[in-house]
Structure 1
Amino acid sequence: MHPSLNPLRRLHQWCAALLLGAALALPAQGQQSVAQTADQTADLGAVTQRWLDDALAQVQAGGMPLRMEVSVGALDSRLRLAPCARVEPYLPTGARLWGRTRLGLRCVDGATRWNVFLPLTVKAFGPAWVLAGSVSTGTVLTEQDAIEAEVDWAAEPAAIVANAKDWVGQTASRPLAAGQALRQNMVRPPNLFKAGAPVRVVVQGPGYAVTSSGQAMSAGAQGQNVRVRMSNGRIIGGTVLEDGSIEASM
Structure 2
Amino acid sequence: MAALLGLLCLSVSATAAQTTQSLSDIEAVAQEFVLAQLGGDKNTRIRVTGLDQRLRLSACAEPLQAFLPSSSQMSGSTTVGIRCPGGSPWTIYVPVQIRFYGKVAVLKRPLARGAVIGADDVKMIRRELGALNGNYVSEMTDVIGMVTRRPVGAESIISPSMITAPEVVKRGERVSIVARSGTFTVRGNGTALGNGSLGEVVRVRNSRSKRTVEGVVAAPGVVEVRL
Shorter-chain TM-score: what band?
0.5 to 0.7
Q: Which runs of 5 or more residues in structure 1 are unaligned?
A: 1-33, 61-65, 78-82
For 2:81 and 2:47, locate their aligned partners in 1 and report how far apart those are by CA, in whole Å: 20
Describe the shift of the 1:123–1:230 C-alpha distance in structure 2 as closer, same or farther (beyond 3 A). same
Matches within 5 A, 1:96-107: 96-97=74-75, 101-106=76-81
Partner of 2:68: 89
Alpha-carbon shift at residue 162 of structure 1 (Å) = 3.5
Partner of 2:21: 38
Deviations 1:121-177 (A, max 9, x none): 514154x443222222221112332345443344321443443x4433321233322
**TM-score normalised by the chain length of structure 1:** 0.58
Partner of 1:193: 169
Counterpart code for 1:167 = V
Task: Please tell me whether the aligned partners of residues 107 and 157 of structure 2 are also in contact (alpha carbons under 8 angstroms).
Answer: yes
Describe the shift of the 1:200–1:73 C-alpha distance in structure 2 as closer, same or farther (beyond 3 A). farther
Task: Please tell me whether the aligned partners of residues 47 and 88 of structure 1 are also in contact (alpha carbons under 8 angstroms).
Answer: no
Is 1:249–2:226 an aligned residue pair?
A: yes
Query: Radius of gyration: which is bigger?
Result: 2
For 1:185 and 1:71, locate their aligned partners in 2 and report how far apart those are by CA, in whole Å: 32
Describe the shift of the 1:107–1:137 C-alpha distance in structure 2 as closer, same or farther (beyond 3 A). same
Describe the shift of the 1:204–1:148 C-alpha distance in structure 2 as closer, same or farther (beyond 3 A). same
Describe the shift of the 1:53–1:218 C-alpha distance in structure 2 as closer, same or farther (beyond 3 A). same
For 1:216 and 1:91, locate their aligned partners in 2 and report how far apart those are by CA, in whole Å: 56
SS of 1:51's equivalent?
Answer: helix
Would you tell me which structure has more helix in proportion to its own residues?
1
Q: Which of 212-221 and 135-144 deviates more?
A: 212-221
Is 1:225–2:203 an aligned residue pair?
A: no
Partner of 1:26: none
Alpha-carbon shift at residue 226 of structure 1 (Å) = 1.2
Residue from 192, 199, 215 that aligns with 1:216: 192
Partner of 1:237: 215
Is 1:120–2:97 an aligned residue pair?
A: yes
SS of 1:195's equivalent?
Answer: coil
Deviations 1:33-81 (A, max 9, x none): x977727x67643431222222445546xxxxx4x33466659x9xxxx
Partner of 1:31: none
For 2:179 and 2:45, locate their aligned partners in 1 and report how far apart those are by CA, in whole Å: 53
For 1:215 and 1:192, locate their aligned partners in 2 and report how far apart those are by CA, in whole Å: 13
